[in-house]
Amino acid sequence: MRQKLQLKGDTSLSQSAIQRRNSNQRYKSPIQGRKLFLSHVIQTPLSQQYGQTQQQQQQHQQNQIIQGRSHSQSNVVFQDEIPQKWPIIQLPFLKNTEPTIFFQYPPVCEDKRPLVNARPMTEEEIKKYSLTCKVLGSAPYKCVLTSFDWAGFKRIDEDDEDEEWNVQWGIGNKTTLRNMNRFQKINHFPGCWNMGRKDLLWLNLSKFKRKYPKEYNFIPNTYLLQYDYDRFIMAQEAAQKDTLWIKKPCADSRGRGITMVSKKSKVKRDKNFLIMDYIYNPHLINGFKYDLRVYVLISCFDPLRVYMYKDGLVRFATQKYSTNSKDLTKRYIHLTNFAVNKLSPNFVKNQNSQKDDEGSKWSHHAYRKKLDELGVDSRELFNRIKDVVLKTCIATEPFMLDSNAKSQEHRYGYFELYGFDVLIDENLKPWVLEVNVSPSLNSSSPLDKKIKTSLISDVLHLVGVPLWDKKNYKISSPPKYNQRNIKEIPNINTSNCLNKLSQNDFNMLIQTVEEVKRRGKNFSCIFPNPKTIHQYMDLFEFPRYNNKLIERFYQDRCNWLSRFN
C-alpha cells in the first residue's frame, strides 16, 4: 500500500542537471560586482549577540514573544539600503543560539522584510559560508529559485556529490538523508505521505475520528475500495435516492480520475480508488462552488510546530453550482481544481496581483473581505480552519514520528510545506478534502506569483538556515538524549529550571522561541501557541516530553531562558 512515490514538481532527474550544466546556466555568485554599505544597516556583532545581551533586555524580549508582539520598530532598517541579493545574517534574538540566513523578498512580492537584528555578511563571511542550494527537478518552480537567488544562494547541480549544500528543495534519497548534517535543511520529512496520500490521510484521521467523533468530524466519511467495498455497497443501497459521493484515485492530483457517484452508479472494487461522501451543500459565492488552498508549514514533529500562512488561494468552479442529476458529469460545476477549470471557456485569468478578487482565483485576503461584506465573520471561519488543520497534524504525528525514528538526529533538519484543500459548506463549516505534499507552486498569474514567492521566502526565513563553515566543519556525534521524566514537568519553574532541564531541553525551547520570532507577519503559529496549547494537549495519542515542556514553559511565562547562560 505504501508504495514508492515521486513527488510532484521535485523529481530527481539527472538529465535536467546535465542540460543545465551544458547550457552553463549556473547561478552567479551574488557578490560579483556589488558594493556593501555597512553603515546603512544595524551592526550588531555576533559576539554581542552571543552571550553578552543584558538580562533585562532578554526578559523584555521574552515577554514580547509570549505576548505575540512584534519587535521594537526603532531598529528596523528596510532592505532598500542593502545591495540586492546580498547575503544577510539574521542574528538570534536570544543568546546561546545560532544566527540564520535572512531571506529578502524578491521584487515580485511587492514587500520588504524588516531588517530587525540583521546585518549583511562581510566579503570574508560570504566566502567562508558560501551559501548553496540544490533544487531538484526538470522544471523547478520559479518562486523557489527566485527566493534562493535573492537570499544570495548559488544553485548547485543536483547530481553534484562533491559540493555541499545548505538547503535541498526536493525529496532526498536514503543516502542523502543518512549523510545530512545538522546545518542542512531539506523540505520533506521522511513519511510525508502519511498526510499527503488520500488513503493514508483517511486511515490516520479515521482512527482519531473513532476516538473523538465530535472533534474529528471535519473529514467526509470515506470508503477505501480495497477494504471497504462491501460496506460502501451496503451504504449505497440503504441511502436516499438523491445521495451523492465522489470517487477519487488514492494517489493522484489535479482532479485526474475523479467522478461523481450516485445511488444508481455501478462501482467496481478497485484498490487504487476511494469513495468519499459528497459535500452537497457548499458555501457559494455568486452561485459558484469554491475551495481554499491553505498553506501549512510544519517545521518539526517533536516538538510539534505548525504554522498557517495568512494568505492563500481561493479556487472557483467555472459553472454555476447544481446538484441536478443531469449535471453530475459536469466537472466545471463540481470540481474546483485550477487544472480542470483553466480549460473551461468561462475561466477568467487573473491579470493583476492588486486585483485579487477578480477571475477564477482569488487571494484569501480578497475572500475574507467578501465574507465580511456578506456579513460572515471571516476571523471566526479562519479560526475554525486553523483548528481542523492542527487536528489533522496531531492525528498524523504518531505515524510521522515512527517514520522519523531512524533519523532522530536530523529531526530539526526537515520541514514540510503542505497544501490543505478545504471546502466550506453553507453552514460555514470547514471540511478537509485532502492534503498535498508539494502543493503546486506554479505561477500562472501575477497573483499566484506574488503569493507563492512571498510564501517560499517566508518558509525559508522561518525554518532558519544556519551558517555553516563547510571547510572547517568536523562531524560531531549526534546529541545524546538524557533520561527525561515527563512526570517531573509540572514541578519545573523559573527557580529550579537550571537544575531540572538539560542543555538539549534549553536548546529546544530557544529554537521554538527563535522560530516564532522569525515567522514574520504572514505566518501564524498555530502550535505551540501560548493561548491555545492547553486545549489540544489531550488529543495527542501519546503525551510527548517536548510538547509538555513547552506547555509548562508558556504556563510559567517563559522566564526560564533568562536563567540559562
Residues that bind ligand ADP (CB under 6 A): 220, 246, 248, 252-256, 258, 276, 278-279, 291, 335-337, 421, 423, 433-434
Please identify, using beta-carbon distances, which residue of 272 and 507 lies nearer to ligand ADP: 272
- Name which of 130 and 318 has its Cβ closer to ligand ADP: 318
Select 109 or 246, whichever has its Cβ closest to ligand ADP. Answer: 246
Q: Give how far Cα 323 sits from Cα of 191, 279, 280, 282, 427, Å.
A: 38, 11, 7, 11, 17
Long-range contacts of 69-77 (CB under 8 A, 24+ apart): 70/521, 71/114, 71/116, 71/117, 71/517, 75/42, 75/116, 75/117, 76/114, 76/115, 76/116, 77/40, 77/41, 77/42, 77/114, 77/115
Max CA separation in the chain (angstroms): 76
Helices in 250-374 by DSSP H: which ranges? 331-334, 338-341, 364-373
Q: What is the DSSP string of 155-170?
A: E--TT--SS--SEEES
Q: How far is the CB of 327 from ligand ADP (least distance, A)?
A: 14
**Would you tell me how many other CB atoms lie within 10 Å of the CB of residue 108?**
19
Q: Which is nearer to ligand ADP, 416 or 434 (CB)?
A: 434
Which of 387, 383, 379, 378 lies closest to 215 in space, CA to CA? 387
CB of 192 to ligand ADP, least distance (A): 15
R_g of the chain, CA atoms, integer Å: 24
Mapped onto helix, strand or coil, the DSSP state of residue 282 is strand
Instruction: For ligand ADP, give the closer residue by CB, 220 or 359.
Output: 220
**Residue 308 or 335: which CB sits closer to ligand ADP?**
335
Give me the sheet containing 185-186, strands edge to edge: 154-155, 132-135, 167-169, 185-186
Cell numbers at residue 229, please?
Answer: 467495498
Distance CA 102, CA 455 (A): 14
Taking Cα atoms as reference points, which of 546, 557, 554 lies closest to residue 501?
Answer: 546
Tell whether the torsion through CA atoms of 497, 501, 504 and 505 is positive or negative: negative
Kindly tell me which of 201 and 463 has the beta carbon lying closer to ligand ADP: 201
Angle, CA of 350, 416 and 457, to the nearest 5°: 50
> Closer CB to ligand ADP, residue 221 or residue 352?
221
- Smallest distance, ligand ADP to C-beta of residue 199, A: 12
Q: How far is the CB of 423 from ligand ADP (least distance, A)?
A: 6
Mapping DSSP onto H, E and C, the string for 113-133 reads CCECCEEECCHHHHHHHCCEE
CB closer to ligand ADP out of 248 and 548: 248
Is residue 65 classed as helix, strand or coil in its secondary structure?
helix
Q: How far is the CB of 385 from ligand ADP (least distance, A)?
A: 15
- Least Cβ distance, residue 257 to ligand ADP (angstroms): 7
Q: Min. distance of Cβ 336 from ligand ADP in angstroms?
A: 4
Q: Which residue has the cell 473551461?
A: 344
CA-CA-CA-CA torsion sign (24, 25, 26, 30): positive
CB closer to ligand ADP, 261 vs 526: 261
Nearest approach, Cβ of 279 to ligand ADP (angstroms)? Answer: 4
CB of 290: closest distance to ligand ADP in angstroms? 8
Residues 6+ apart with CB under 8 A from 237: none
Tell me the three state secondary structure of residue 19: helix
- Closest separation in Å from C-beta 325 to ligand ADP: 16
CB of 277 to ligand ADP, least distance (A): 6
CB of 42 or CB of 339, closer to ligand ADP: 339
